[in-house]
Structure 1
């Protein structure tokens, strides 16, 4: 169906078309125009059909005199003003022998522009395996190329635009094809995904938690003797300039490790390190007696050094012990590290909720490092724990774990950057998810060759997206604020060509949706208090006049 004609600014990459006002065309619609080209391996010109996408539409008054005040012109000819509708079309290429080629010559001025057929558009995008939705302008399914995930991907959107929605849909598609998916989840939003995964069939799933008070099948633990003493101090929250406290932790850690390697001590957690410091406060003999009981009776100058430090600066020893006890209460840091085999399933959700950002950062680094090393061992045939299947890691709130190096340094950045740079060689693929791409390290973002970009309003974030993407044309960038919820621009190795896609409905559940304030603030009684005293079993709380505490009715 003819919808217009090619007019000015015709180039091999784009052209302007005037549209038939009786046949309106939507943004992102697919059009075609006949042209001539010399295809690869051909010697003569042949007729080809250039396929393009409408990336901008605007209306303009015909031959309006720009030097006259607009109001006066419209006031005088408001009923006779001629209006034209102009479309900017980005040329996607032409199909020749099953391949897409870009033209070397522009379409001629005056050539008719028609709507592309569904068959032409479908052939343009090919057929992938990961069916995430439909084209925004056509009722055609879009399925991503599963091989494209090997080049990593970024899901970018403002809050509430549907980035978690897309992530869940992509997880569904990967699980259907037997992938091993690991989700690092700072807020516990993906726990319902694990709980509803059986809707997809007999798929194994496990939730790993780092807080005793949050949902999870397995409590993740990190053996303190497997840690670097400086990292242990960082995880405990010891200030970087508290050198004496850090040195006390270093001495306690090194003595416990020596007792483990050369004594009869099985393992040592934070409590054991705190006990070493406590005994050091009581004197060198008490400390040697403790180590001897653990089977470590060697003459070690670190024993005298720690005892002397405790004698000179009891405050530092006491503070170091307090930091270690704090770690022990968290439950994450213990005597032994959770075996990697307990974390292995088709879907592994690491629920990081319930602990501070410093602990989340360290746990993320620890898990990502173990996954990467396990895949390296498998690929290279080395000794140690291995993961036999490739892994796709979804990193939610990526700006927390991999911020720009100029802003702050996180421990997880090291693992994220290494996977981004080397992961594809060893079968560890990364999907970073963020609403603030400007706060993610640009070196990491540049490695995310596929991008799923949803509604973005912040100019800094738009600039960051443009800098990190080689394929995002300015026209798509300008249209990002106008995307509806659930619409996304997808580009990179996941698709043969960029496309604007409307996501399909998800099967699995996820949390983190907005709170309905009309429901949350609804009260049965005018002036009622939204407080229930712990321990009241179904009773109505009654305010007391002389005390802020409540008693049960």
Structure 2
């Protein structure tokens, strides 16, 4: 077992800082405002996990920041580059570009999740919900057009209303659905070294959240297998809001709260990355035992972090207000004591670097 070298001490660049990989069997909170170097630094930790552990990772990637995790950077150590190249890293893309697609099966969703997607309330829309509850369709033979025809031909008013709802909302036309074919859930179940789901290219704003819900539901349903998985959620505020507004957001938040509270004993461990702690549901944030903190300026956020992560001194947390880009505080189970770090260099290519301002080559 090797510790994960992530950088050097801020007050002694000659001394390396290492994390204990065994302690990623606890939930981790990763925080830093825009421009702090949060995504680049997170990539360093994920690379180190690939290089020094056999812990499979699922990365929910809303901005396609990690889709090049399998590509070694020019100048990276040869041994590291070779290991990364040989690792089983699967990348699934959303949108209309090339590559394997993020696909899920509508029929695999729980009845409650199906209803959330269709904006069906179990009380207000009791008859339509009941149709969904008793509707049985196999993944292999599912055909959306045939289903709509059968519902309308049945003469059952509830089935007709459900068919109209599906058609009016155009839910069955989403690019997310595999329409009976393979699902990313099947791939994740194989436990590759890393499975990266680029969720940023879907046309409908609900599709990324439904994709995450489909995956998390199936992981929870299969939790008794106790097969370890680190679930990395970048820009986690999009998936784990403290104030979910839609039925899909509520279902997604409830599933994450359950995983945060009970998932550790089943080997389902979270790594949540976001800009502000106040944008994450408190019942998830409070379950995190590891902290990676980069620059955060807002006094409210500093106070929240000090309150939730009581094992870190408030003065240490306040130092985050003055961090330069790439500086971080690490604390919790994966490091012996709270430590201030200058993050190191990436091994792989960063896919989501900032867009630069174009300058004139012939200034006036």
TM value normalised by structure 2? 0.84
Alignment gaps of 5+ in structure 1: 1-126, 281-286, 288-302, 380-387, 527-553
Q: Which residue of 1 aligns with 2:156?
A: 305
Highest RCO, 1 vs 2 (Cα 8 Å, sep ≥ 6): 2
2:174 aligned with 1:332, yes or no? Answer: no
Displacement of 1:471 in angstroms is 2.0
Q: Which residue of 2 aligns with 1:417?
A: 257
Q: Which residue of 1 aligns with 2:77?
A: none
**Aligned in 2, Cα 1:348/1:368: closer, same or farther, shift over 3 Å?**
same
Q: How does 1:135-154 map to 2 (within 5 A)?
A: 135-138=9-12, 139-154=14-29
Q: Which residue of 2 aligns with 1:352?
A: 199
CA–CA distance in structure 2, aligned partners of residues 431 and 266 of structure 1: 34
CA–CA distance in structure 1, aligned partners of residues 271 and 176 of structure 2: 29
What do you get for the CA RMSD once the two structures are aligned? 3.2
Deviation readout 1:495-553 (Å, 9 max, x if unpaired): 1110100001111112222211225xx699x9xxxxxxxxxxxxxxxxxxxxxxxxxxx
2:178 aligned with 1:178, yes or no? Answer: no
2:283 aligned with 1:400, yes or no? Answer: no
CA–CA distance in structure 2, aligned partners of residues 215 and 459 of structure 1: 43
Q: Which is richer in strand?
A: 1
Answer yes or no: is the 8 Å Cα contact 2:120–2:128 preserved in 1.
no
2:92 aligned with 1:208, yes or no? Answer: yes
2:168 aligned with 1:322, yes or no? Answer: yes
Q: Secondary structure at the match of 2:54?
A: coil
2:144 aligned with 1:270, yes or no? Answer: yes
Displacement of 1:137 in angstroms is 0.4
Q: Which residue of 2 aligns with 1:168?
A: 43
Match among 258, 272, 278 for residue 432 of structure 1 = 272
Q: Which residue of 1 aligns with 2:329?
A: 489
CA–CA distance in structure 2, aligned partners of residues 434 and 171 of structure 1: 16
Answer yes or no: is the 8 Å Cα contact 2:229–2:269 preserved in 1.
yes
**Aligned in 2, Cα 1:340/1:406: closer, same or farther, shift over 3 Å?**
closer
**Aligned in 2, Cα 1:506/1:248: closer, same or farther, shift over 3 Å?**
same
Displacement of 1:420 in angstroms is 1.6
2:212 aligned with 1:369, yes or no? Answer: no
TM value normalised by structure 1? 0.57
Q: Which residue of 1 aligns with 2:76?
A: none
CA–CA distance in structure 2, aligned partners of residues 502 and 353 of structure 1: 30
Q: Which residue of 2 aligns with 1:221?
A: 104
Deviation readout 1:46-90 (Å, 9 max, x if unpaired): xxxxxxxxxxxxxxxxxxxxxxxxxxxxxxxxxxxxxxxxxxxxx
Answer yes or no: is the 8 Å Cα contact 2:290–2:332 preserved in 1.
yes
CA–CA distance in structure 2, aligned partners of residues 337 and 227 of structure 1: 14
CA–CA distance in structure 2, aligned partners of residues 472 and 350 of structure 1: 33
Displacement of 1:225 in angstroms is 2.9
Match among 18, 21, 30 for residue 155 of structure 1 = 30
Q: Which residue of 1 aligns with 2:113?
A: 231
Deviation readout 1:439-481 (Å, 9 max, x if unpaired): 1011211111110111001222222211210122121232211
**Aligned in 2, Cα 1:276/1:459: closer, same or farther, shift over 3 Å?**
farther
**Aligned in 2, Cα 1:220/1:318: closer, same or farther, shift over 3 Å?**
closer
Q: Which residue of 2 aligns with 1:467?
A: 307
Q: Secondary structure at the match of 1:502?
A: strand
Q: Secondary structure at the match of 1:134?
A: strand
**Aligned in 2, Cα 1:453/1:212: closer, same or farther, shift over 3 Å?**
closer
Alignment gaps of 5+ in structure 2: 74-79
Answer yes or no: is the 8 Å Cα contact 1:270–1:333 preserved in 2.
no
Answer yes or no: is the 8 Å Cα contact 1:130–1:145 preserved in 2.
yes
Answer yes or no: is the 8 Å Cα contact 1:153–1:449 preserved in 2.
yes
CA–CA distance in structure 1, aligned partners of residues 304 and 171 of structure 2: 39
Q: Which has the larger radius of gyration?
A: 1
Answer yes or no: is the 8 Å Cα contact 1:270–1:334 preserved in 2.
yes
Q: How does 1:281-300 map to 2 (within 5 A)?
A: 287=153
Point out the more displaced range, 129-138 or 413-422.
413-422
